[in-house]
Chain A
Amino acid sequence: MLSLAILSIGLSAGPAESPTELAAWLDARLETAWRAKGEPPRAVVSDEIFLRRAFLELTGTIPSVAEARDFLEDPSATKRQRLIQTLLEDKRYAEHFGRLWARTMAPAGTTRGPLEAWLRTEFRKNTPFDQTTKAVLTAKGDSTTAGPAAFYFAVGNTPERITEAVARGFLGIRLGCAQCHNHPFTGWKQEDFWGLAAFFASTGNMAGPVTDGPARKVSPMNSSKEFDAKFLIGPAPEFRGSRSARAVLADWLATPENPYFAANVVNRVWQDLCGAGLVSSVDDLDTVEAAERGQVLDGLTAKFVASGFDMRWLIEGICLSKAYQLASSGSESSPGRRPVRTLTPDQVFASLDQSLGLKKGRGVGIRFTPEGRSLMVRLEEARGSTPTDYKGGIPQALLLLNGNLLTEATALDSSLTLRAIVEAPFLNETEKLETLYLAAYSRQPRQEERERMLKVIGAKPADPAARRQAYSNIFWALMNSPEFVLCP
C-alpha cells in the first residue's frame, strides 16, 4: 500500500468534459461493475425521492412546501438537471458543503466556526480544491477568524493534531496510532507520523497566530529522538531557498501525482452525496486494494484531476448520473450503490425548522433557544460514524415524542405552520392533508395514506375541535416517523 505504483493518475490531455459527459461515463462504468457482480441497475427513483435527496444533499435541508410543489408540478423532462443547477447556485449549497468539509478536516473539534465560515466562501467561489488545500497547509496569521489558518484553531495547533487531521482529512489515511508505535497492520511507522508532523514544527500554538519558521524537526513528548520532515511516500523532500517546510509539503500533498489526495476528495464527496464511499472506507484509503480502487474510484479521480480539482463540476456530474438517481438498497454493497441514509444532526435540525417554522432565539438562530440547543445536543450525541448509521437512542426519541419543541411546533395554538394550513379557508380537507405531507415529506400522500388519514380527520364529524386536533396529531406523527429522518 505504500507503493506509488498502485495508481498512475495522468493528467489526461484534451478539453475538459462537461458534467453531463461525466455522468454518462459514471453510469457506463458503474453498470459494468454491477453486472460483474450480478447486481443489475435498480429503477430510477420518483420525482419525490429525487427532490428530497437533491435538497438534503446539496443544501442540507428539505424543500419548502412551495419549492416541492413547483418541482413536482413541473412537467418538463429536464427539470431534474435544472434543479441540480439551481441548488448549486443556492447559498445553502456553499453553507452545507462548508459545514461538511469543516467536519471532515476537524472531526473532533468544537472550534470549527471560523474554518466553516472560510470554507463557505471557498465553495461559493468554487476555488479549485487543490488550491483550498494548499491554502490550509501554508496558512499563517490569525486562526480565530474566517480564513485558512482557522484550520489550526479547529484541530488544535500542535504538530500531532495537525498531522492526524491532515492525514485523515486530506489523504484518507489514519496515522494517529503510528504516533506512539509502529502501526501493526498498515505498515505506517513512527517515523512516518513524526516525519509528517515535522513539517508543522513551527506553526505556533493555540494561544497565538499560526506562524512559520525554519524548524523542520520534531521530537515527541518524553522522547529525545528527533524526526526529520519526510513525506509519507515518494522521494525525500527538497528544501530550497526561503520556501517554507509547509509549502514544500503542500507541493507534495495537493497534487495530481499524490495517489491519495484527489482520490480521498472524490471518495468523500461520493459518500456525502450518496451515503457510502466508492470504496468502503473513507478513512482508510491506504488499506484499499488496487482492484477495488480500480473499479470506479481511480477513473473518477483522474477525471477530477483533469477538471482542475473542480468541486462543483464533480458534484454536478455525480448528481446528474443515473447512479445518483437509482433506488437505494439495503443489502447490496457494490461501489456506487446508495443505501438508505440517516440525516445528519444538521440536516435534521434544518429540516425540522423548514417544516415547522421553529421559534427563533433572541437575536440569534433557532439553534440557540434552550429547546433548540438541547435538541442539537441530543442529535449530535447520536451522530453515526457513517451516513447509514441510525444512532438516535431512546433519549432522542423521547425528546421528539414528548419534548416541548415538537409538542409546541405541532400544536394548533402555538404552531404558525400548522395553524396556517388548518385555518386556510381556501383549502379543503384533502388539500390540507396534502399540504401537511408536502411540509413534512416533500410529497403528496399516497392513495392509501390519504384514505387512512382522512378517516382520522373525520372520526368525530360532530366535533370541530377534534377535527382540528386530528391535523395536529397527524403532523406530529409525520415529524416523528422514519421517513422524516431517513432518506431512501
Chain B
Amino acid sequence: MLTRDFGRRDFLRMSLASAAGAAACPWLPALAAAAGKKPAKACIVLWMSGGPSQTDTWDLKPDHKNGGPTKEIATAASGVRFSEYLPQLAAAAKDLGIVRSMTTKEGEHGRATQLLHTGQLPTDAVAYPALGSLLAKELGDPDHDLPSYVTISPGGLNNVGAGFLGPQFAPLAVSGISDDPNARANLSIDNLKPDRAVGNDDQDIRRKLLEGLQTDFGKRYGGAAAAAHAASYRKAQRMVDTEARGAFRLDEEPAKLREAYGRSRFGQGCLLARRLLERGVSFVEVTLDGWDTHTNNFEAVKGLNGTLDPAFATLLSDLKTRGMLANTLVVWMGEFGRTPIINRTTGRDHFPVAWSTVLAGAGIKGGRAVGSTGKDGMAVTDRPVTVTDFLATVCTAVGVDPEKENHTWDGRPISLVKGGKPIEELVG
C-alpha cells in the first residue's frame, strides 16, 4: 500500500519525532522512578464489539430528543450519572473514570476495531500489533506456563493479532465454542489431554518425532508461518503439561460468585479473566458482542447492559477483595460509539465523532467523567480525546512508556503509541 519511498520518509519523520517526544514527555521521569520496584501490572479489556451506544450507557441526554426513552440515575460519584440499566456500576462509580469525549476517525467495524486495538488504521506496510500483544510483551513473562495474552470469545471481527511482534505475543483465543455443553458453560479449552488410548511412551515418541519435523521444516524453509506454527504447538504442549490449565476450572469458584458475575458467557468470561490474571497472564480481553444496534437500539442496549452491569461491577469488587485492583487496569471500550440521533428503525448508527470509554483500577482516579459532548451529543464540546491519547493513557496506567519502540523485522522502530497525551485527570 505504501511505497518504499513513502516508508522511508515516514521512518525519518518518526525518528525525529521520537527524539523530540522523549524530551517533551513529562511522564517519563515518573515511570523511570517507578522502575525496579514495580509490582506486576495487568490489564483486562472489556471489548464491546459492534460499537456501544454512549448515549444509553455513560453519557445520557435526558433533556434532548436524542436521549430516547432511557432514564438517568445518580451514581456514587457526585455529578456523574449513568443509565438506569447500570445500577451496580452506578454504585461502583467511585472506581470508574469515564471518558465522554472520545473522538476518532473511523466508522467501519473492521477498520475501527483495528484502530482501537493498535492506534493505527490497517495498512499493509506494517502489521501493527494489538494493544494486548504490546502489553503482553512489556508486562508478561515469556517463560510462563500460560500465554501472556488471552482473548475470550473474540468473534469474527476482533481478531487483531500480534502483527510484527510475532506469534509469541499472539492471543490465545478461548472461543467457548464446543459441542460439549458443559465445556461451553465453563469456557474451558477443548482437547487438553491426549486420548487415553495413546500410552505415555507413545506420547513421548510422538512429541519427539513432531519436534524433529518442525525443526527440519523451519531450517529448510523458514518464514513467519513456520515460526507461528511452531510457537502455537509449543504453547499448546505447555498448556497440556502444566497445572496452569486449572485456570479454566470455573466450577472451583463459589456458586454465589459465579451467579454474581452472571451466568452469561461474558460474565463467566470476566471471572475467567480474573483467574487467568491470578495465574500470571498479563492481558485478557473479554468480548461482549451485539452492540451494532442499527435497529431496535433501546431494547437491545437494555439487554446488553443487563449482561454488562453485573459482570463489570462484580469484576471490580472481586479484584478489589483480592487486592488486585490496584495493579489491574480494567478498560471498557468498543470500536466507536453510536449516533445520538435515533434513526427510522429506532436504532442508532456508527458514530466515531463523539463517544465514551471507561477506565478503572491501576491507580485510575475514579468517580469522575472527563470531557463532554454538549446537549445533543453530536460533538465533543470539551476536552477531545483521540485514540492515541486514550491508548497512551492505558499504557501509562500500567506503567509502560507509550513512546517505547519495538522494531519491525526490517529494523524500523515503531512506538507502542505515537504522540498520544495521557489523560492527566485520570492518570496524572
Q: Which residues of A contact B (CB under 8 A)?
A: 108, 174, 176-177, 179-181, 184-185, 221-222, 280-281, 284, 287-289, 291-292, 328, 330-331, 339-342, 370, 373-374, 377, 381, 388-399, 401-404, 407, 411, 449, 452, 456, 469-470, 472-474, 476-478, 480-483, 485-486, 488
Contacts and interface: CB of A to CB of B under 8 A. Distances in A.
A280 B1 contact: yes
B341 A222 contact: yes
A342 B233 contact: no
Given A281-B1, A291-B3, A292-B3, A393 B226 contact: no
Contact of A477 (B190, B195, B209, B342): B209
Nearest to B210: A477
B111 A176 contact: yes
A180 B177 contact: no
Nearest to B410: A331
A474 B191 CA distance: 20
A351 B216 CA distance: 21
A407 B344 contact: no
Contacts of A331: 409
B240 A330 contact: no
A473 B205 contact: yes
A95 B178 CA distance: 29
A483 B222 contact: no
A392 B344 contact: no
A395 B350 CA distance: 33
Nearest to A327: B221
A473 B156 contact: no
Contacts of B198: 407
B223 A340 contact: yes
A331 B250 CA distance: 44
Contacts of B189: 394-395, 398
10 contacts: A339-B225, A340-B222, A374-B190, A394-B235, A452-B212, A474-B209, A480-B210, A482-B217, A483-B217, A486-B217
Interface in B216-233: 216-218, 220-226, 228-230, 232-233
A473 B209 contact: yes
B1 A391 contact: no
Contacts of A180: 107-108, 349-352
A481 B232 contact: no
Contact of A340 (B3, B175, B194, B221): B221
A69 to B, nearest CB: 22
B200 interface: no
A284 B1 contact: yes
A486 B156 contact: no
B246 to A, nearest CB: 16
Given A374-B178, A398-B236, A482 B230 contact: yes
Contacts of B237: 401
Interface stretch (B166-174, B315-323, B414-422): B166-174
B339 A222 contact: yes
B296 to A, nearest CB: 13
A181 B226 CA distance: 40
A227 to B, nearest CB: 16
B111 A480 contact: no
B225 A398 contact: no
Nearest to B178: A374
B147 interface: yes
A241 B161 CA distance: 52
A340 B107 contact: no
Contact of B213 (A389, A481, A488): A481
A485 B124 CA distance: 24
A407 B177 CA distance: 20
A185 B106 CA distance: 11
B108 to A, nearest CB: 4
A94 to B, nearest CB: 28
A456 B209 CA distance: 9
A94 B278 CA distance: 52
Q: Which of A174, A339, A340, A397 has the most CB of B within 10 A?
A: A397
Contacts of A390: 167, 224-226, 228-229, 232
A179 B172 CA distance: 33
A184 B409 CA distance: 29
Nearest to B204: A473
Given A281-B1, A395-B190, A398-B191, A481 B210 contact: yes
Closest 10 CB pairs of A and B: A180-B107, A397-B236, A330-B223, A477-B209, A222-B343, A481-B213, A390-B228, A340-B223, A390-B225, A402-B191
Given A177-B111, A393-B232, A449-B216, 18 more contacts: A174-B111, A181-B107, A221-B349, A222-B341, A222-B344, A280-B1, A289-B3, A388-B224, A390-B228, A390-B229, A392-B229, A394-B232, A395-B174, A402-B191, A456-B209, A477-B213, A481-B213, A482-B225
B53 to A, nearest CB: 14
B16 interface: no
A291 B5 CA distance: 11
Contacts of B350: 179-180
A111 to B, nearest CB: 14
A339 B349 contact: no
Given A381-B175, A473-B209, A474-B209, A401 B191 contact: yes
A252 B420 CA distance: 44
A485 B172 contact: no
Contact of B194 (A179, A401, A470, A483): A401
B192 interface: yes
Given A222-B349, A398-B192, A185 B156 contact: no
Contacts of B161: 389, 391
A470 B201 CA distance: 11
Nearest to A382: B173
Q: Which of A339, A388, A488 has the most CB of B within 10 A?
A: A488
B23 interface: no
Q: Which of A280, A481, A488 has the most CB of B within 10 A?
A: A481
B121 interface: yes
Nearest to B147: A394
Nearest to A181: B107
B236 A394 contact: yes
Nearest to B189: A395
Contacts of A393: 170-173, 232
Nearest to A371: B179
B100 to A, nearest CB: 20
Nearest to B213: A481
Q: Which of B106, B218, B230, B409 has the most CB of A within 10 A?
A: B106
B202 to A, nearest CB: 6
Given A221-B349, A477-B210, A398 B167 contact: no
B388 to A, nearest CB: 15
Interface in B173-197: 173-175, 177-179, 189-195, 197
Contacts of A330: 221-224
Nearest to A289: B3
Nearest to A414: B197
B78 interface: no
A163 to B, nearest CB: 12
Interface string B146-163: 010000000010010100
Interface in B66-118: 105-108, 110-111
A402 B194 contact: yes
B14 to A, nearest CB: 17
B3 A221 contact: no
Contacts of B121: 185
Contacts of A404: 195
Contacts of A377: 175, 177
B206 interface: yes
Contact of A483 (B110, B195, B206, B213): B213
Contact of B232 (A392, A407, A476): A392
A483 B161 CA distance: 23
B179 A370 contact: yes
B375 interface: no
Contact of B240 (A281, A402, A474, A480): A402
Contacts of B218: 482
